[in-house]
């Protein structure tokens, strides 16, 4: 009897010894995946339907590919409206969920999702939630990590403030104002623009932060300009691309555009039609955040 039990234990141990490596190989990543394509990168932006504005994305892609030459780079647009508009023009762009599903099917085991948003706002949170769900699926990715948006630390704000100020034309006089137009959001992360104002002011007392939909408002900026008796202002997008908001809300001919409002106040304005992502050094801030996400992919655990 005793001898019989010992045999059984020995057989069990032997069986486990053979199956254990196979079990651990299956523990992450599923059983049916044929070839592991390794690590992929998914760049996520709101998107733009303006072709000239898309060159900002080319700059980012170039910098990302230079930093991670081994990894495949894909794109996803979060804006349903822009995806639909582009599809009508024959340009197919994926949502985050579609892009990740495709990458899963193709056999990537790990994906770094880089948010090309400015703030950790509602779009970023959606990207984060949806991306991580793909790591929870049976046969899903082994691991997914999400890189932070552009302005995710005090150091980011200082770095971006300095680079953004360089977008003003060289012939600007120090008393000329530089007015940045950000998007703004109802999400609590809107306070980032107030923080941005602090960093800009520290570097240049005639630099101002305003937003289309949040705070500070254009009226806040106008009050500052009035107080200083400013005669001329450079209008610069605080957005990744010079898209619809820039061409219409900032520099458009309508009476409500920032250009028109400031000119009605008696200022001379010069609009800079350039997205911030077109500045390679600004694109590199996102690349650095992607580097952090790639690093987190190397560790253990699902997040
Ligand atoms: Co908008």
Res. 16: pLDDT tops 50: no
Which pLDDT does position 4 carry in this prediction?
58
Active site residue 183: yes
* pLDDT (tens digit per residue) in 73-130: 999 999 999 999 999 999 999 999 999 999 999 999 999 999 999 999 999 999 999 9
Candidates 162, 166, 149; CA nearest to 199 is 162
Which pLDDT does position 35 carry in this prediction?
73
**156 or 137: which leads in pLDDT:** 156
205: number of CA atoms within 13 Å, CB side? 5
DSSP class of residue 66 equals H
Residue 158: Cβ-neighbour burial (10 angstroms; 0-12, 13-18, 19+): middle
* pLDDT (tens digit per residue) in 39-69: 999 999 999 888 888 889 999 999 999 999 9
Which pLDDT does position 32 carry in this prediction?
52
Whether residue 178 contacts residue 225, with contact meaning beta carbons closer than 8 Å, is answered with: no
How far, in Å, is the centroid of ligand 1 from the Cα of 183?
A: 6
Whether residue 113 contacts residue 45, with contact meaning beta carbons closer than 8 Å, is answered with: no
Please give the model's pTM, rounded to 2 decimal places: 0.86
Whether residue 147 contacts residue 115, with contact meaning beta carbons closer than 8 Å, is answered with: yes
How far, in Å, is the centroid of ligand 1 from the Cα of 245?
A: 7
> CA–CA separation, 52 vs 208, rounded Å?
26
User: Percent of the chain scored above 70 by pLDDT?
Assistant: 87
Candidates 255, 254, 247; CA nearest to 274 is 247
User: Percent of the chain scored above 90 by pLDDT?
Assistant: 81
Whether residue 63 contacts residue 95, with contact meaning beta carbons closer than 8 Å, is answered with: no
Q: Give the contacts of 2 (CB within 8 A, at least 6 positions apart).
A: none
Which pLDDT does position 50 carry in this prediction?
87
Which pLDDT does position 157 carry in this prediction?
98
* pLDDT (tens digit per residue) in 242-258: 999 999 999 999 999 99
Task: State mean pLDDT over 18-47.
Answer: 65
> CA–CA separation, 266 vs 71, rounded Å?
52
Which pLDDT does position 273 carry in this prediction?
95
How far, in Å, is the centroid of ligand 1 from the Cα of 248?
A: 11
Which ranges in 151-236 belong to alpha helices (H)? Answer: 154-165, 191-203, 218-228
CA end-to-end distance (rounded Å), the chain:
50
Which pLDDT does position 162 carry in this prediction?
98
Task: State mean pLDDT over 29-37.
Answer: 61
How far, in Å, is the centroid of ligand 1 from the Cα of 98?
A: 23
Whether residue 199 contacts residue 158, with contact meaning beta carbons closer than 8 Å, is answered with: yes
For the chain, the average pLDDT equals: 90
4-8, 68-72, 193-197, 292-296, range with the lowest pLDDT: 4-8
Res. 26: pLDDT tops 70: no
Band of pLDDT at residue 278, cut at 50, 70 and 90: very high
How far, in Å, is the centroid of ligand 1 from the Cα of 278?
A: 19
How far, in Å, is the centroid of ligand 1 from the Cα of 243?
A: 10
Selecting among 117, 183, 245, 289, the annotated active-site residue is: 183
Band of pLDDT at residue 147, cut at 50, 70 and 90: very high
Band of pLDDT at residue 25, cut at 50, 70 and 90: very low
Structure tokens at 17: 């010894």
Res. 20: pLDDT tops 50: no
Q: How far is CA 70 from CA 34, 66, 102, in A?
A: 20, 9, 19
> CA–CA separation, 34 vs 100, rounded Å?
17
Res. 11: pLDDT tops 70: no
Which pLDDT does position 10 carry in this prediction?
55
């Amino acid at each position: 009897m005793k001898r019989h039990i010992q045999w059984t234990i020995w057989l069990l141990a032997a069986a486990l010894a053979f199956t254990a490596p196979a079990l651990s190989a299956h523990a992450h990543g599923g059983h049916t995946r044929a070839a592991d394509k390794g690590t992929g990168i998914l760049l996520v932006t709101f998107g733009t339907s303006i072709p000239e504005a898309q060159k900002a994305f080319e700059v980012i892609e170039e910098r990302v590919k230079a930093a991670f030459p081994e990894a495949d780079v894909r794109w996803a647009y979060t804006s349903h409206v822009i995806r639909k508009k582009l599809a009508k023009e024959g340009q197919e762009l994926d949502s985050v969920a579609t892009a990740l599903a495709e990458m899963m099917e193709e056999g990537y085991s790990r994906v770094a999702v880089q948010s090309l948003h400015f703030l950790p706002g509602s779009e970023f949170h959606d990207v984060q939630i949806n991306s991580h769900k793909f790591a929870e699926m049976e046969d899903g990715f082994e691991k997914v990590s999400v890189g932070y948006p552009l302005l995710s630390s005090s150091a980011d704000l200082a770095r971006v403030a300095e680079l953004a100020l360089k977008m003003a034309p060289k012939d600007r006089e120090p008393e000329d104002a530089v007015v940045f137009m950000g998007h703004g959001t109802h999400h609590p992360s809107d306070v980032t623009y107030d923080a941005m104002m602090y960093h800009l002011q520290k570097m240049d007392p005639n630099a101002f932060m305003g937003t289309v939909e949040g705070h500070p408002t254009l009226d806040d900026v106008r009050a500052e300009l009035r107080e200083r008796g400013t005669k001329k202002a450079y209008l610069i997008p605080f957005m990744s691309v010079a898209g619809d908001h820039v061409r219409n809300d900032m520099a458009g001919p309508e009476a409500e555009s920032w250009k028109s409002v400031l000119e009605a106040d008696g200022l001379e304005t010069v609009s800079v039609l350039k997205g911030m992502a077109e500045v390679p050094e600004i694109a590199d801030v996102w690349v650095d955040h992607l580097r952090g996400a790639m690093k987190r992919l190397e560790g253990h655990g699902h997040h």
